[in-house]
Amino acid sequence: MGFVLLYPSGERILVGHRCGEKHYGQKDFRRFVSDFRTAKDRAYYARRRRAALGAAAMFVAELEELEGHPGLETYSSLRRQYRQEFAVLESVLRHELVRNGGRLTQEIRVRDIVGEQRRDDEEERDAIQNGRTWQPPSVPRPLYKPEWATFGVLRSIRFFLEGEDPQRSIAGEVRVVRSSLAELQKADSLTAQKLIFKGLAACFVRIREQVESVRELPVSLGDDNLNCFLGESERFSWKLPIWGRVPGVSAGSRRWRWRSTSFVRSKHSVT
């Protein structure tokens, strides 16, 4: 990498880093490189500043339109109702999804062949040590061990997890964008402009994430997900993952069955 130097005579010369430090002195050449990069950054951010301020009014208007979009209110309303009407379910399901990343599991009993062999070997060894004759039992004595089996996988699970409400979050981000654009109009220093653009970029990322959450609503409450954890819950019992921490469930309750299918099936179907 190098630089094209323009001399007073109009001649242009290509100079690399090492040759520049050798011919013009390390200290002077490095100061020249630093000044060049600063001037380049200043010109770049000046163009960005002019473009951003020129489009500010239109951009803020679009964000305000997004802020008032009915889809945000629909998402928030369904989420509030889900958490209010199914408070215990919400806690159980959230723990399950966080732990397994969308997989719904149930505890099943599996034949423990290794355990049975180990038990028989121990009994035979004990009989030999005590001078007794050991015969394999005529009646099977199966042993079982618990295992977690997946009976469904939910897609687009952000609706069921903890997180800020998209409507409230986007409203807050719109306020930040308005404030940042006002600051950008008064910002003269390069450092201030860099910080403002960095903050705006972070705002846009958060807004995009919230919009994606709302866009996933038809999948979150679609037939595949509903059949997965509403239909399958009729056949499987859920074992609570953390007994003492789930509101509304006593520590002695070992199992809880979710049978309600009215949340979306009746008046909240999503198309």
Q: 158-215, pLDDT tens digit by residue?
A: 888 888 899 999 999 999 999 999 999 998 888 999 999 999 999 999 999 999 999 9
pLDDT tens digits along 238-254: 443 333 333 333 333 33
Long-range contacts of 118-123 (CB under 8 A, 24+ apart): 119/143
Whole-angstrom CA distances from 8 to 13, 30, 32, 101 are 12, 21, 16, 66
Residue 2: how many CA atoms within 13 Å on its side-chain side? 11
* pLDDT bracket for residue 149 (50, 70, 90): confident
- pLDDT higher than threshold 60 for residue 55: yes
Mean pLDDT of 31-42: 82
Burial of 94 from C-beta contacts in 10 A (0-12 / 13-18 / 19+): middle
Backbone angles phi, psi at 108, to 5 degrees: -125, 160
- pLDDT higher than threshold 80 for residue 52: yes
* pLDDT bracket for residue 14 (50, 70, 90): confident
Mean pLDDT of 37-45: 86
Instruction: Give yes or no for a contact between 97 and 154, defined as CB atoms under 8 angstroms apart.
Output: yes
Residues 200, 205: Cα–Cα separation, whole Å: 9
* pLDDT bracket for residue 263 (50, 70, 90): very low
- Looking only at the bridges linking them, the beta strands covering 12-16 and 2-6 are antiparallel
Q: What is the 3-state secondary structure (H, E, C) of the chain?
A: CEEEEECCCCCEEEEEHHHHHHHHCHHHHHHHHHHHHHHHHHHHHHHHHHHHHHCHHHHHHHHHHHHCCHHHHHHHHHHHHHHHHCHHHHHHHHHHHHHHCCEEEEEEEEECHHHHHHHHHHHHHHHHHCCCCCCCCCCCCCCEEEEEEEEEECCCHHHHCCCCCHHHHHHHHHHHHHHHHHHHHHCCCHHHHHHHHHHHHHHHHHHHHHHHHHHCHHHHCCHHHHHHHHHHHHCCCECCCCHHHCCCCCCCCCCECCCCCHHHHCCCCCC
* pLDDT bracket for residue 258 (50, 70, 90): very low
Query: Of 47-51, 92-96, 222-226, which range is least confident?
Result: 92-96
Q: Which of 259, 242, 239, 260 is nearest to 251 (CA)?
A: 242
Q: For the chain, what is the mean pLDDT?
A: 78
pLDDT of residue 229: 64
pLDDT of residue 13: 74
Residues 251, 189: Cα–Cα separation, whole Å: 61
pLDDT of residue 100: 80
Of residues 118 and 2, the one with the higher pLDDT is 118
pLDDT of residue 81: 87
- pLDDT higher than threshold 70 for residue 73: yes
- pLDDT higher than threshold 50 for residue 259: no
- pLDDT higher than threshold 60 for residue 54: yes
